Amino acid sequence: MVSARHMYCVPGRCEIIMPVCRVYQDCMDMELHRLRTFVAVAEIGSLSGASDVLRIAQPALSRQIRLLEEEVGQQLFTRSHAGMRLTPAGGELLARVSGLLRQLEQSLDEVRSFAQDPAGEVTIAMVPTVCAVVAEALVRRVARELPQVRLRLIEGYTSHILDWLHQREVDMAVIYGPAIDLHLRARTLATDELVLIAAAGQGPAPGPVAVADLAEKPLILPGSQHGLRLVIEKAAEERSGIRLTIAVEAGAFATSLELVAAGLGWTVLPGSTAARFAADGRFEIRPFAPRLSRQVVLAEPPGKPATRAIERVTAILSEETERLLR
């Protein structure tokens, strides 16, 4: 049987074809190198910082960016003393290639380690309230069970994480559902009950509270587009027909808790977060009746094949999230 390699070795032409193939491969390597350089400069925001990370001299980096700009026919960065800022064209290129480059690098890691333990980088995005509860246990288990895997954890709100998933910039995400609304491969891991948190001595009477009890009370909640805020406002309108009084908008739950402890208002957080960060003498915690809860969902990017490392980390993440948010 004639191999595929020799089928194209026509006498008198092999010496032409093989150099052309080598030139093509060299060109492909150069294109990938330029794109990796572009992504590094874009994410770090400066040539000097990218030079340190990539261990490439700044003039060489600058030349690669300039050649890429000439190739695409667009200016990709605006340059100033403050650093390198993406132009609209640069932002569009970054959105299109960063996920693809990560997928290519993961595929190469997967092939290199095929006969060994799973290896490579796995990127996980999580909403802050889940990350604060799950991250430590996840990192410990992965370090123990998958020593060749590098974890990259990113916090963000659900709307941002959905963009990262669709652009395939992350390998998986833990966000709030319902799963059916996400239009992604997604499944529910746990249901996290929401609770009211007040400063010690400033909460409602002992026992469960109704959403109506929030009426005219100063509340410390995230911004209006935050999923948690939407759940609370929807429950207030549907159950009691009341409008909430927002005293302060605070995006970080740690900031919200400090403001509550100072007596500046009440807040609402997932019970798992409250149990871990508000279970001390500074706070009073009350459940809602009827219950107020959110689905915690594991979502995966569309059309992206999972490496062995991703599959193993997904299993660990699912187990730890279910255990800790039970």
| pLDDT band at residue 113 using 50, 70 and 90 as cut-offs | low
CA distances from residue 255 to 183, 221, 236, 291 in whole angstroms, order as listed: 32, 10, 23, 25
Same fold, 4-98 and 190-294: no
CA distance 70 to 15: 32
Is the predicted pLDDT of residue 285 greater than 90, yes or no? yes
For residue 62, which phi and psi values (nearest 5 degrees)?
-60, -40
| Domain range list for the chain | 4-98, 190-294
Residues 55-88: tens digit of each pLDDT: 788 888 888 888 888 888 888 888 887 778 888 8
Is the predicted pLDDT of residue 4 greater than 50, yes or no? no
Options 3.50.50.100, 3.40.50.410, 3.30.1050.10, 1.10.10.10; which CATH number does 4-98 get?
1.10.10.10
| pLDDT band at residue 242 using 50, 70 and 90 as cut-offs | confident
Instruction: State both tokens at 298.
Output: 């594991």
Q: Give the pLDDT of residue 106.
A: 65
Looking up tokens 């980088």 gives: 121
Q: Which residues contact 323 (CB under 8 A, 6 or more apart)?
A: 137
Residues 308-319: tens digit of each pLDDT: 899 999 999 999
CA quadruple 270, 292, 210, 288: dihedral, nearest 10 = -50
CA distance 55 to 58: 9
Question: What's the CATH number for 190-294?
Answer: 3.40.190.290
